[in-house]
Amino acid sequence: MPKIRVYTDLKECEQIWRELWPENCLFDRWDIRLAFHRHFQRPIHFVVAESFGRQVGLLPLSWIEEEGYYGCFPGETWNSKTWLEQNRIPAESEEIRQLLWAAAPDNTRLRYLLPEECPADAQMDEIGYLFHPLKYNSHMDAYWAEFSGKSKKQLQREAGRFDHLGCRYQENQFDDIPWMFEQNLMNFGPKSYFHDSRFRNGFNAMLDRLREMGILRVVTVRVGGQTAAVDVGAVYRNQYTVLGGATDMAFTGIAKTINLLHLDWGCQNKIQEIDFLCGDFGWKPRFHLEARPLYIACKADESYLLKTRIRAEAVEA
């Protein structure tokens, strides 16, 4: 029977992560997680299964003090919930994975879990949305063939409504990133991803790291010379992840324009997958993106349940 140990030292935890956590997507990288950890500084609680001197399973947690629960490392939060997706409990067997989950503290809440690497009692959390250019042989014409004639014309008309005003598309205008932060905050206020300075600074540190790696992609749409929309993303292992963005609300519907630009660019560059992350935001199903369920697992003590109920009642009031 494997033994369970808890590690709290950052350097030890980095070594364990690099040994046990598979690096299949952008969010699997230690340096991306570390960018957020440096600004949130959550206490680390790595639950590790060990057998005959080998580490055979990992449940990496961070203590989210203001919410009263352990979340997946690094515990970056937006709107009281963690944000990084495609979390998992890597283990050499399902038995070890369940052993790690049993050893988790009672007030543990893991979000955005991949279905193949989560506890048996996990439930569906949210839906992620993907686009696979290779499904259409990397041709937008094949993508549009899925739509009815009416839907296709309407969507293309909405996306092209600014063409007559001199709509222009640019890549990697890195000086537009501050505009994205400021505009997102202006549009959404306290509901913005970037309202919490810790998250904003962690996100910005992530972008800095992506730029150092040469994989950061900034997409800007200007209308009549005025900045109308800016998105940021990264291409890693031929997977393009659209991380965030902002639009000038004076250009109603400009989001459709930039979203179609992502799809078209993915086809032109034969990208394997474009990940638009969770939340449909009123447009993703309409664009015929593929749904990918992600899961949530909770072990909540009474104090956490009480705190959650009080917060919910306050919102309803």
Pairing state of beta strands 108-113 and 77-78?
Answer: unpaired
Are 30 and 15 in contact, with CB atoms under 8 Å apart?
no
Strand blocks (E) in 52-178: 54-64, 69-72, 77-78, 81-82, 108-113, 123-131, 167-171
Give percent of the chain with pLDDT exceeding 70.
95
Ordered by start, the domain boundaries in the chain are: 3-127+294-316, 133-271
Q: Is the pLDDT of residue 304 over 70?
A: no
Mean pLDDT in residue range 140-168: 92
Amino acid at 230: V
pLDDT tier at 307, thresholds 50, 70, 90: low
pLDDT digit string, tens, across residues 249-296: 999 999 999 999 999 999 999 999 999 999 988 899 999 999 999 999
Helix (H) or strand (E) holding 273: strand 273-278
Tell me the pLDDT of the chain averaged across its residues: 93
**Mean local confidence (pLDDT), 89-106:** 97
Name 197's Cβ contacts closer than 8 Å, sequence gap at least 6: none
- pLDDT-based confidence at 115, cuts 50/70/90? very high
What is the C-alpha end-to-end distance of the chain, expressed in Å? 50
pLDDT band at 1 (very low <50, low <70, confident <90, very high): confident
The CATH class for the domain spanning 133-271 reads alpha beta
Residue 47 has pLDDT above 70, yes or no: yes
pTM to 2 decimal places: 0.92
Distance of alpha carbon 208 from alpha carbon 35, whole angstroms? 9
Q: Report the residue count for the chain.
A: 317
Q: Is the CB of residue 91 less than 8 Å from the CB of residue 58? A: yes
Residue 128 has pLDDT above 60, yes or no: yes
The predicted pLDDT at position 301 comes to: 56
What are the tens digits of pLDDT across the range 170-181? 999 999 999 999
pLDDT value, residue 317: 44
Decide: 246 and 179 in contact? Cβ < 8 Å.
yes
pLDDT tens sequence across 18-41: 999 999 999 999 999 999 999 999
Q: CATH: 3.30.365, 3.40.630, 3.30.70, 3.40.50. Which one for 3-127+294-316?
A: 3.40.630
More confident residue, 305 or 116: 116
Express each pLDDT in 196-231 by its tens digit.
999 999 999 999 999 999 999 999 999 999 999 999
Asked if residue 311 has pLDDT above 60, the reply is no
Residues paired with residue 55 on neighbouring β-strands, in sequence order = 50
Average pLDDT over residues 147-168: 91
Q: Do domains 3-127+294-316 and 133-271 have the same CATH topology?
A: yes
Euclidean distance between CA atoms 236 and 213, whole angstroms: 10
Q: Is pLDDT above 60 for 315?
A: no
